[in-house]
Chains A and B, each alone.
Chain A
Amino acid sequence: MSLEASAQNAEAKAAAAGDLPTIEFVTPMPGFPGMTSFVLVRLDEVGLLNSLRSVDDPELRFITIAPHQFFPQYEPEIDDETIAALGTKDPSQLLVLLIVTAGDTPRDSTANLMAPIVVDPMTMRAAQCVLTGSNLPVRAPLA
């Protein structure tokens, strides 16, 4: 089964079970005004690769990775404003996802280290947190 088919299948199953994991962005991502509801679906067993699909526009989909496999040193400092906006009680529980731009080959793929998506698994709220002044790259090669 193709990845796309399996992702949509997973979404369909979750929807049928009534537990579609919908997350709400507290502010829209730059470039996508009005898009705040997304469905987060695992694309592998361990949750390294995820799909983030817009509820408002099913054609809009982001691919995200968990940082640790490719960027083990990555420890973003999430600002207090974002933590307050997410309603987070325990910042150590925040899920950090990196948006991936898939290139022609996997070695051309990049991840956005400057603006990770942070998700509070308790409130199911999310934000694309801009790490201002960090000098982290927007397009960091995965390789």
Chain B
Amino acid sequence: MLVLTRRPGESVMVGDDVVITVLEVRGDVVRLGIRAPRSVPVHREEVFLELRAANQEAASSSEDAVEALSRLIGSEGEKG
């Protein structure tokens, strides 16, 4: 891991087009600004990990489960 020391207002470049700027340091909280191209998604790590897990779980839904879901949606649709 590359370890750098930066002051508020100073930045780090990642590749040619990702800029990470330290905006503010207050106590044990650091505020960062991140400028990246649209093709580079930026997420908080815990959000990314949660989404990745949910997506991977969703991608492995069984056929039987999907069939059952389809029937449920059909019947709910009739009710509504």
Using a CB–CB cutoff of 8 Å, the interface residues on chain B facing chain A are 38-41, 43-44, 47-48, 50-59, 61-63, 65-74, 76-77, 80
A130 touches B47 (CB 8 A): yes
Secondary structure at the B interface, as helix, strand, loop or mixed, is helix
A62 touches B73 (CB 8 A): no
Contact digits for A27-52, partner B, Cβ 8 Å, 1 yes 0 no: 11111100000000001101011000
A2 touches B68 (CB 8 A): no
Count of interface residues, chain A, beta-carbon cutoff 8 Å: 43
Give, as a whole number of angstroms, the nearest-CB distance from A93 to chain B: 20
A41 to B52, CA, bound (A): 23
List chain A residues, Cβ under 8 A from B51. Answer: 29-31, 112, 114-115, 128, 130, 138
Question: Which of B47, B50, B73 is in CB contact (< 8 Å) with A49?
Answer: B73
Q: List 7 A-B contacts (CB under 8 A).
A: A70-B76, A102-B61, A106-B71, A106-B72, A109-B72, A138-B51, A138-B54
Q: Which 3 interchain pairs have the tightest Cβ spacing?
A: A102-B65, A31-B52, A106-B72
Using a CB–CB cutoff of 8 Å, the interface residues on chain A facing chain B are 2-4, 26-32, 43-44, 46, 48-49, 60-63, 65, 69-70, 81, 84-85, 99-106, 109, 112, 114-115, 128, 130, 132, 138-139, 142
List chain A residues, Cβ under 8 A from B68. Answer: 102, 105-106
A2 to B71, CA, bound (A): 12
A27 touches B39 (CB 8 A): yes
- Closest A residue to B65 by beta carbon equals A102
